[in-house]
Chain A
Amino acid sequence: MPTTPTLSELENASEFVARHIGVSAADEALMLQAVGAASRAALIDEIVPRAIARKAPMAIPSAITEAAALAELQAIAAKNKVFKSYIGQGYYDTFTPGVILRNVLENPAWYTAYTPYQAEISQGRMEALINFQTMITDLTGMPMANASMLDEATAAAEAMTLAMRAGKSKSTTFLIDDDVLPQTLAVIRTRAEPLGITVKVCPADEALAQDSFAVLLQYPGCSGVVRDDRELIADYKDKGGVVIMAADLLALTLLTPPGELGADIAIGTTQRFGMPMGNGGPHAAYMACRDEFKRSMPGRLVGVSVDVHGNPAYRLALQTREQHIRREKATSNICTAQVLPAVIASMYAVYHGPVGLKRIAQRVAALTAVLAAGLESLGYTVANTTAFDTLTVETGDATASIAANAIKTGANLRLASEASLGISLDETTTRADVEALWSFFADAVSGWPNTARRGQDGGRGRALTFNQVEGLADPLLPTGLLRTSGFLAHPVFNSHHSETGMLRYIRRLSDFDLALDRTMIPLGSCTMKLNATSEMIPITWPEFAAIHPMSPADQRQGYAELDEQLRAWLCQATGYAGISLQPNAGSQGEYAGMLAIRAFHASRGQSNRNICLIPSSAHGTNPASATMVGMKVVVTACDAQGNIDMADLQAKCEQYSANLAAMMITYPSTHGVFETDVKELCALVHSHGGRVYVDGANMNALVGLAAPGEFGGDVSHLNLHKTFCIPHGGGGPGVGPVCVVADLVPFLPGSGVGAVSAAPLGNAAVLPISWMYCRMMGAAGLKAASEVAILSANYISVRLKEHFPTLYTSVPVDGKPGRVAHECILDVRQLKGPLVAPTASVLRT
């Protein structure tokens, strides 16, 4: 007799789990048979060392359906308030052209692609990145630009270390213009301290008098002022210093670019070229420099080469600077950057072309000038007499009341000081917006400004109209700095200006690439390439996308709730006590984790602990990160099977016992094996006073099965773009949460150690992806995903072993094959003949 399914069975709350995993029960039975295991549980029991296996399941809510998860997240999103933003400070509202929004940002052909290591399947996005690099070199007037940085603040910090490496000065002081963006200053302070760099903030015109190796100038300044620093730059360089300019890309369409002013390095954000503010990220930052500095420049660089047939072809260039080759001597630990936002910014430039970009900039500048004229006729003083898009208005004791007027009407101004307000305009500002801004000031309930200074036609309580004021406005861009050189002359920026032309260009490039929408991508074992559409849908909701990261906290309650829930779930998955979601890539999480260890030792008066043990099998990012926090790397040996040599480790621990700061391990190993003595390893390092860093790159094999925070890890970083479904975007954005045990919680970013990213919540706008994934999978689904990953890797290993044996496995027991974790490295040397040296290249981002 057929049984009737129950209602809860019909509701099928865990529908998504099967859709995500994809392996059917019938497939699974065949796979288990092939690997010689009675059940999935039995296989896992055999592979995950008993000493570290989780005792209790993760306390993560049970799965709900796609529709239910979207509804639940919508309710959280609704707690964010979308206000008109005049805050500026590096984040501006922008129109993402519809053709780019739908065909790039919301298109899996672009967002699911992997990092372009395999040039032959990445020509499309590498062309987009060449466009990005061309856009940056043209607009900044510099000869060389990389393919994006994580945010303006980290780009500035990387520029500082580049100047230190490449410059000639022996000074260890870094000067910063006192009109720099505050978040940039905060990140630079964090980065400078472990490297022994003294950071000094001073007015730009005092820079010459200071002994320093480099200076950072903001152009235009945070206050809005547009200074001509040409002479200062020339004199400063004569003294042997390096000049870095943080420049606004839209302003550069109208202003003499940094390269022509004499700067050595230019950095900045490209956010306002079509990427939503997203509560602070993801956005692509840029870095450009003089040709002499190219080998010291961090990050990825796309170049044009020729293929075997002699045709032009794109490829990554100058990779020997990067950490997978140079390890602790790398220029930086950055791997994942912001490829998808960089592609969007480059497409924005292709869409508008030089004429369109200039028109936008001129409109912003004109509205700013009219705004200033109106404020002055109301009797207010604008502190900066030069401006592009930002005014600092002296508001005295009316400050709070004006800001409150703005809030009441759904607008945010920037509190520049207790007695002044900042207003930044952008592409979206209209005449009506300018009139509304005047009304906030006109209606201020205070004696400010005093009547004597009130203009004839203006005055408090009287509404100004745009047409009245327009004729009174004088241009605020200094004439001596107006740009005379052309930019974006390349045909790509001047060809695709019809709607269909643009659509076809985007489609043509994506057709050159392989991404998840067409096939699996077997490279980058630790990077998950399963990104469900439902996970992506929330990221462009205005409640997540149109939020300024420095808006009042009560407007970001939805983000706060998202942050709290996601952190709680990730704590469950890792066994750690505290997590910060601020790091906007794995490299940043790793850096933040090492900073926490360093700060912990320092807090106990043990700053001498500066030795970091790293096994020879580690990915290059590990030594690069340890070096960035001022630690000295000591390499420990691995045996022929790729496992950590415990005898050598013991010897090194004893040798460096007094100065041991940390050991960095990857688990399961970069060779894809669960090493059996990881618990003993952690205990050994602890017994010598060191802390254990467990690189979370391979968490795909651990979620639900074993927790680093339980088996001896003190710190880990996760890659939400590896384990928690954020798509790789062709090389970013990522999110690299840093997770710590209880006694290290005080040393998470933003509390014990400083900020590591520009925005408090890093790449906030992509966090809904991981939230959706966890919510639709539930604890059981997340665990099943890890189990099936392990089963699948072992199945592949077994099925291919006759032809391509797996290089590293566990020791075979009971006649069963040697086991791997969630990945297997196949020996394909016979394909190239016996003369090719064995390489077990471990690339990841």
Chain B
Amino acid sequence: MTIKFTPDHEWVQIDGNNATVGITVHAQDALGDVVFVDLPEVGKTFAAKDAAAVVESVKAAADIYAPANGVVTEVNEALRADPSLANSEPLSTGWFFKMTLDNPSDLDGLMDETSYTAFAADAH
């Protein structure tokens, strides 16, 4: 099981063909208090970079992108009920959705934790 990061400040936990997607500590910090999430329908197919979910905070709204081609298998109902999980537990119980990927190697180009940390430190 590995964790990778996208330039859009999302994390992807990869387990074989399965991926879990959430937002990073940096992302939730930049957004501020998250008050609403719009999650995709289970069974919906997305291409890489498609907007699959929406996160809204008190001051901004942002799309959450599918990291690669695949189909949504599960969404985090607990997050829907309590969007503040995205702030308090962004890397664990605050996950957004799970996908089965067509081709996990699509994620090879994403950043590992070290490069992401450097990337996020550069981002304002």
Q: Which residues of A are in contact with B by a Cβ distance under 8 Å?
A: 295, 320-321, 325-326, 329, 837-838
Contact = CB atoms under 8 A, between A and B. Distances in A.
Nearest to B30: A837
A295 B38 CA distance: 10
A325 B124 contact: no
Given A837-B30, A837-B124, A838-B124, A325 B36 contact: no
9 contacts: A320-B57, A320-B61, A325-B59, A325-B60, A325-B61, A326-B61, A329-B61, A837-B30, A838-B124
Interface of B: 30, 36, 38, 56-57, 59-61, 63, 124
A192 to B, nearest CB: 24
Contacts of A321: 61
Contacts of B56: 320
B54 to A, nearest CB: 8
Given A295-B36, A837-B124, A320 B30 contact: no
Contacts of B63: 329
A326 B124 CA distance: 20
A614 to B, nearest CB: 18
Contacts of B30: 837
A326 B30 CA distance: 16
A320 B124 CA distance: 21
A321 B60 CA distance: 9
Contacts of B36: 295, 320
Contacts of A329: 61, 63
A838 B60 CA distance: 14
Contacts of B124: 837-838
Contacts of A326: 61
A35 B7 CA distance: 45
Nearest to B56: A320
A548 to B, nearest CB: 42
A401 B48 CA distance: 69
Which of A321, A326, A837 is most buried by chain B, counting CB atoms within 10 A of its CB?
A326
Contacts of A295: 36, 38
Contacts of B61: 320-321, 325-326, 329
A329 B56 CA distance: 13
Contacts of B57: 320
Contacts of A838: 124
B60 to A, nearest CB: 6
A632 B60 CA distance: 22
Which of B30, B61, B63 is most buried by chain A, counting CB atoms within 10 A of its CB?
B61
Nearest to A841: B59
Nearest to B58: A320
Nearest to A327: B61
A329 B63 CA distance: 10
Contacts of B60: 320, 325
A565 B102 CA distance: 65
Nearest to A326: B61
Nearest to B51: A329
Given A320-B60, A325-B59, A326-B61, 4 more contacts: A295-B36, A295-B38, A329-B61, A837-B124
A321 B35 CA distance: 13
A780 B16 CA distance: 74
A234 to B, nearest CB: 25
